[in-house]
Chain A
Amino acid sequence: MVSPSPNTLHTAYDSKIEGNVIVTRVDAAINWMRKNSLWPMPMGLACCAIELMATASSRFDISRFGMEVMRFSPRQADVLIVSGTVTYKMALVVKRIWDQMPEPKWCVAMGACASSGGMYRSYAVLQGIDSLIPVDVYISGCPPRPEALIEGLMQLQKKIEGEESTMAQKKVFFEDRS
């Protein structure tokens, strides 16, 4: 004799199936995955790179945010962290690395030099990398403390959360389906 299961009382709810189903938007799900595993490409060009290294090491530890996988190949990276002074001679290299990164990709201008040329008002230094590549987050400081970089990356995570990148990227696909 089989005793009645307590679930039979709630016939509309099958916990075995529906307990493992999350209803959400595609964008929200994909953005959630993207933002929690940002693989940075460390573009260390000056003293900001030291703070970037400190951010990655044990005391500050950006692996808490899923960003510890520093990729030295741009083809495996999601976010370009330009940490340091970009001279005109280096500018083309930065651009080339940015172009090699696969979509979706983001860019963080870390520190005063990358954001605006900083104290290097001279013939040799690019006055802000935003004249070369699109920048998502600017971080102030000379150099910024690791906390500031983490804050900047968290701002980037927030930005990714609100993106409609899938809808934009797969526009034709979604139009066909609907």
Chain B
Amino acid sequence: MAAADDVKQLREGFGAKILETVEFRGEQTLRVELGALHDVLAKCRKELGYEMILDISSLDHFGDDPRFEMVYELATVNDSKHLRVKAMVGEEESVPTATDIWPGADWHEREVYDMMGIRFSGHPNLKRILMWEGYPFYPLRKDFPLAGRPTEMPDLPSTGVAPLEGGPFVTCAGGEDTVRREPRARVQD
């Protein structure tokens, strides 16, 4: 596969800065050092022809160190090649922006910043994209409850905790049948 050749070429170019390469069912994944991330992405764009950034997302490995992980999904426009690039990010670290490589990275990075609180150095307009300006939390972090935390919001009394009441779409692992595994509601502990 062409993407596998690109992975080989990147390994030769960056050496030990590429920590790991994984191939799973034809999907190529690279794990790189945070310091080499921008160079790897720039090489993918300029020399290997990945013109499109499909998605930039992030993971929260709560309890581990480093805590966060960035995931970049790259593709060629004719869809012949896909490549995934990952890099671990500590809580105090900031990620070099990819907006200078793909302008389309702008909103993806803003979403990562908004939901996970990972900062991007060099981003032209790093502000919240989904939650409102001044919201104090990062809701996709593992230590943030789904129901939310009470916050102050201008012109609104306050945004309280949502009453989950056992919640819709709750699942209980290990139930005997579907009715028990996916009850309409569940009494909260």
Chain A contact residues, CB within 8 Å of chain B: 88-89, 91-92, 95, 117, 119-127, 131-132
Given contacts A88-B132, A89-B132, A127-B162, whether A121 and B155 have CB atoms under 8 Å apart is no
- Complex alpha-carbon distance, A19 and B162, angstroms: 60
Q: Beyond A122-B162, A123-B159, A124-B130: 5 further Cβ-contacts under 8 Å?
A: A91-B156, A119-B168, A120-B162, A123-B146, A123-B148
**Which chain B residue shows the least CB distance to A88?**
B159
**Which chain A residue shows the least CB distance to B168?**
A119
Q: Does B139 contact A (CB under 8 A)?
A: yes
Are A121 and B130 neighbours in the complex by a CB distance under 8 Å? no
Interface magnitude class on chain B: 20 to 34
B163–chain A nearest beta-carbon distance, Å? 7
Chain B residues lying within 8 Å of A126, measured Cβ to Cβ, are 159
Interface of B is mostly: loop
Interface residues of B in 131-189 (CB under 8 A from A): 131-132, 137, 139, 144-149, 153-157, 159-160, 162-165, 167-169
Are A123 and B149 neighbours in the complex by a CB distance under 8 Å? yes
Chain B contact residues, CB within 8 Å of chain A: 130-132, 137, 139, 144-149, 153-157, 159-160, 162-165, 167-169
Given contacts A89-B130, A89-B132, A117-B162, whether A123 and B147 have CB atoms under 8 Å apart is yes
- Complex alpha-carbon distance, A132 and B157, angstroms: 8
- The 8 tightest CB contacts between A and B, nearest first, are A123-B148, A121-B162, A119-B168, A89-B132, A121-B164, A123-B139, A88-B159, A127-B162
Chain B residues lying within 8 Å of A127, measured Cβ to Cβ, are 160, 162-163
Partner of B147, one of A89, A91, A92, A122: A122
Are A123 and B162 neighbours in the complex by a CB distance under 8 Å? yes
Partner of A121, one of B139, B146, B149, B159: B146
Chain A residues lying within 8 Å of B168, measured Cβ to Cβ, are 119, 121
A88–chain B nearest beta-carbon distance, Å? 5
Chain A residues lying within 8 Å of B157, measured Cβ to Cβ, are 131
Are A125 and B162 neighbours in the complex by a CB distance under 8 Å? yes
Chain A residues lying within 8 Å of B139, measured Cβ to Cβ, are 123-124
Chain A residues lying within 8 Å of B153, measured Cβ to Cβ, are 88
- Complex alpha-carbon distance, A88 and B159, angstroms: 8
- Complex alpha-carbon distance, A123 and B168, angstroms: 14
Chain A residues lying within 8 Å of B149, measured Cβ to Cβ, are 123
Are A124 and B155 neighbours in the complex by a CB distance under 8 Å? no
Are A88 and B162 neighbours in the complex by a CB distance under 8 Å? no
Among B156, B164, B165, which residue has the most Cβ atoms of chain A within 10 A? B156
Are A123 and B155 neighbours in the complex by a CB distance under 8 Å? no
Partner of B144, one of A92, A121, A123, A132: A123
**Which chain B residue shows the least CB distance to A131?**
B157
- Complex alpha-carbon distance, A124 and B137, angstroms: 11
Are A121 and B131 neighbours in the complex by a CB distance under 8 Å? no
